[in-house]
Each structure stands twice: as structure tokens, then as C-alpha cells.
Structure 1
Amino acid sequence: MLRLHYNLERVSMGLVAAIIVAASIGGLVEIAPLFTIDETVEVPADLRPHTPLELAGREIYIREGCYACHSQMIRSLADEIDRYGHYSLASESAYDHPMLWGSKRTGPDLARVGEKYSDVWHAAHLVNPRAVVPASIMPAYPWLAATPLNISTLSAQLATLARLGVPYSPERIANAAADALAQARPDSADGAGFVARYGDRVAVRPFGGDLARLTEMDAVIAYLQSLGRLTTAPYVPQ
């Protein structure tokens, strides 16, 4: 075997061909199952898509690189389940584009962080992580509280996701901007419409604590508070 490998290294084009074959086999093993994913992953009946405000927070979460240090995938290992909760189900990410699974754990996994901490805790943590977790190495994001949330592109984002199979109806798409505002303002005139479109399991409150304006902080906290709470599937006894 060593001699074969040695002889192959002497023929550059042969080595290139062998690398291509090896990479192709590995790629097929990973890609082929995706063609049957619709048959193997059953979407829970109560799985809801992210609201416009949560979706905006998810985009900011990705923009700021949070996914590089925090995975959203609890593996079926006893120590991970003891620390984070029920292992992640593929069906929970059925509407995620892109999905944020992985094993990078510079910071804790966030798959079940929703409602684990208060909005006030999240706001303080994002502005100055060491104020609430002294040993934290997480960078601070104080500008989130001072940056108005851009809601002008939300309808277009929902429309794009709808083409990928996420159940955003024409009504949800048309009211995306109004729904983002309504979720952060409990007394909003559009509140009833928002609940009608997304259900009463969705949190409605001023996530960033400022009723006078909608900021990126509201969006990020709304997104974090939704993680692990889009479906009851992981919590139903099998």
C-alpha cells in the first residue's frame, strides 16, 4: 500500500485524480441523504416559523458572527443533555435557512436558551458580558441598543423564505414590518392581527425595554428567546 501511494505521488496527474475520487466519495456520502430529507424529516405539526422580529434578530446574530462561537445543536450525549436539555431534532430546523447547527463551543450551546434568562439579563449581557458573567470572553455589542432596526426589507425576506418552503402566507409577508413593531409593543393597534397570524405562543413585549423605539437589541433578544420554543416536539414524551 505504501509503495502504491509512493508511486502515485510520482505521477502528479494520477495523484490529482485520486484526490478528486476520494473527495467525490466523501461528498456523495454527505450530500446524497439530502435528496431524501423531505421523506426522513417529519415537520412537527406545531412548528412555527420565526416572526419578522425574530427573523431580523437572527440576521443580526449571523451578521455579528455569533454562530462562530455558539452552536445550536445539542448532541445525544449524556453530559450535553444534562447541561443543555433534550438533544436537538432535525425537524426543529426545518424552516431555518441557513441552519446554525455545529459543534463550536467557545460559548455555550444556545439551542434551548429561549426564556432561560430574562430580557433584562440578555440586554445587560449583550451590552457588557462581564457585568453578568465575570469570566466571559464574549465581545460586547453595545451598539445594538442604539441602532434602530431596519424593518423595510422584512417583507422581501419573508417572501424569499416562502419560496424555499417556509410557511409565510401572503398576509404574513404583507404585514411583516407592522408585525415586527407589534411584537415589541404590547399595546400596539396591530397586536391582535399579529397574534392571529403567529399564534398566542409567541412572546409579545418590549424585549429591549424601550417602548419609544424599535432597536436591533429588541430583535436579537426576541430571537434568542425563541430558541428551543418553536415547537413542543422535544418536550413531548415519546
Structure 2
Amino acid sequence: MLKLHYNLEKLSMGLVVAIIVAASIGGIVEIAPLFTIDETVEIPDDLRPHTPLELAGREIYMREGCYACHSQMVRSLADELDRYGPYSLASESAYDHPMLWGSKRTGPDLARLGEKYSDAWHVQHLIDPRSVVPASIMPAYPWLMRRLDTGLLRDSMATLARLGVPYGDDAVAAAQADALAQARPDSDGVDGVFERYGEDVAVRAFDGDPAVLTEMDAVVAYLQSLGRLTDAPYGILAGEDGE
């Protein structure tokens, strides 16, 4: 057997072909199920896409590399269910491009973070993490208090719409106005936000100052939306408890 392997190694082209065949088999096994993803993942009826402000916050979250230390995928392990809540469903991320499940937990999982802490807590935590969590090793992000650039929101939403995210033409056209209105609860555009994204959307001055729309507003709005875009996971957990 060893002699056969030794002789095979001397046939460089044969070895290359064998490697390609082995890699192709592995690739097909991993890729083929993705072609049936629409059949295997049922999108919850109540799943809503991110609002323009939350979407902007998600982009900043990725820009700052937050996904490198925080996962967004609660596994079906008893200790994780106790700490974080219901396990994550693939359908929860149906509108996420890219998904941010992650595998690294230098910091805690964020899949069920929404409304767990106040806006003020998040703002202080992002500006000076150790002021609220003394043992934290998270870097500070004070620059998030700068003004939010909403110039690319329409293009981002239009691109996501082509990928299947249910953003209508009216939502794309109103992207910048909706982002501003979500952080100004007394503005005239609030009704439009509720009309397009539902009555459960959080509308408030996330950074505490409604006068200026900041990156902090966007990031906190995004963090407060995590785990709150659908009730599907909580319904499954309630069903399991009732059995």
C-alpha cells in the first residue's frame, strides 16, 4: 500500500487530478444543499427587514469588525439557552446579506441582545466599555458620535431588494427620511416608518440627542433590533415547554 502511494506521488499530474476530484466531491457535498435553501428554510410570516437606520448600524457594525468578537448564533445547548434565550433559527437571517452568525466569542453572543439594556447603557458602553463593565476588554468607539452619512442607504436597500429582501420602491425612496425619522420620535415622518416596518419598530433618540443623526443612533438602533425581528424562536421555545 505504501509502495502504491509512493509511486502515485511520483505521478504529479495523476496526483493533481486526484486532489481535484477529492476537493470537488467535498465542495459538491457542501454546496448542493444550498440550491434547495428556499425549500428548507421557511421565512416566518412576521419577519421584517431592518429599517434604514438599523441597516446603517449593521454596516457600521461590520465596518468596525464587531463580528470578529461577537457571534449572533445561539446554539441548542442548555447553558446557552439559559444565558442567551431561544436557539437561533436559519430563517431569522433570511434577509441578512451577509449573515453574521460567527464563531468567535471573545465577547458574548448578541443574537438576543435587543432591548436587554437601555439605549443609554449601549451609548456609554460603546464610548467607554469599562465604565459599565470594569472587566471588559472591548475597545472604545467614541467616534460613533459623529454625524451619520445616509448617502448610500438607497443604493444599499435597492441592492438588497434585488437579493430578495422585501424593500418596496417606496421604502427605497424614503430610506434617508425614514432613517432620520426613526431617531426623531416627534418628527412628521414617524408614521411612515411604522407603515413600512410595523408598529413594533423602536422610534426614539437612541443616542439621547434628536437634533443630530449620528452613527451611534444607527448602531444602537441595530443592536436593539437583534432578536426582535420575528417571534418565531420564542414560539418554538413555548411549544417545547408545553410538551
Deviations for 1:92-129, whole angstroms, at most 9, x for unmatched residues?
00000001112211111111111111111111111111
Does the CA contact (< 8 Å) of 2:110 and 2:226 recur in 1?
yes
Structure 2 Cα separation of the partners of residues 6 and 108 of structure 1: 49
One-letter code aligned to 2:171: R
Query: Counterpart of 1:221?
Result: 220
Aligned-residue offset at 1:11:
3.0
One-letter code aligned to 1:210: D
Query: Counterpart of 1:162?
Result: 161
One-letter code aligned to 1:133: V
After TM superposition, the runs of 4+ consecutive aligned structure 1 residues lying more than 4 A away are: 1-4
Structure 2 Cα separation of the partners of residues 7 and 109 of structure 1: 50
Are positions 1:129 and 2:146 aligned together?
no
Structure 1 Cα separation of the partners of residues 65 and 5 of structure 2: 41
Where 1:56 maps in the other structure, the secondary structure is helix
One-letter code aligned to 1:183: Q
Structure 2 Cα separation of the partners of residues 191 and 2 of structure 1: 73
Structure 2 Cα separation of the partners of residues 156 and 172 of structure 1: 12
Does the CA contact (< 8 Å) of 2:124 and 2:131 recur in 1?
yes
One-letter code aligned to 2:54: E
One-letter code aligned to 1:36: T
Distance 1:233 1:7, change over 3 A: same
Structure 1 Cα separation of the partners of residues 198 and 35 of structure 2: 32
Deviations for 1:158-203, whole angstroms, at most 9, x for unmatched residues?
1111111100011111100000001000001111111111111100
Distance 1:2 1:137, change over 3 A: farther
Query: Counterpart of 2:179?
Result: 180
One-letter code aligned to 2:149: N
Moved more, 116-125 or 9-18: 9-18
Deviations for 1:198-218, whole angstroms, at most 9, x for unmatched residues?
111100001111111000000
Are positions 1:59 and 2:59 aligned together?
yes
Q: How does 1:80-229 map to 2 (within 5 A)?
A: 80-145=80-145, 147-229=146-228
Instruction: Work out the number of aligned pairs and report it.
Output: 237
TM-score, length-normalised on structure 2? 0.94
One-letter code aligned to 2:219: V
Distance 1:209 1:2, change over 3 A: farther
Query: Counterpart of 1:75?
Result: 75
Where 2:125 maps in the other structure, the secondary structure is helix
Moved more, 21-30 or 228-237: 21-30
Are positions 1:37 and 2:37 aligned together?
yes
The CA RMSD measured in Å over matched residues stands at: 1.3
Unaligned ranges ≥5, structure 1: none
Deviations for 1:13-46, whole angstroms, at most 9, x for unmatched residues?
3332222222222211111111000011000000
One-letter code aligned to 1:42: E
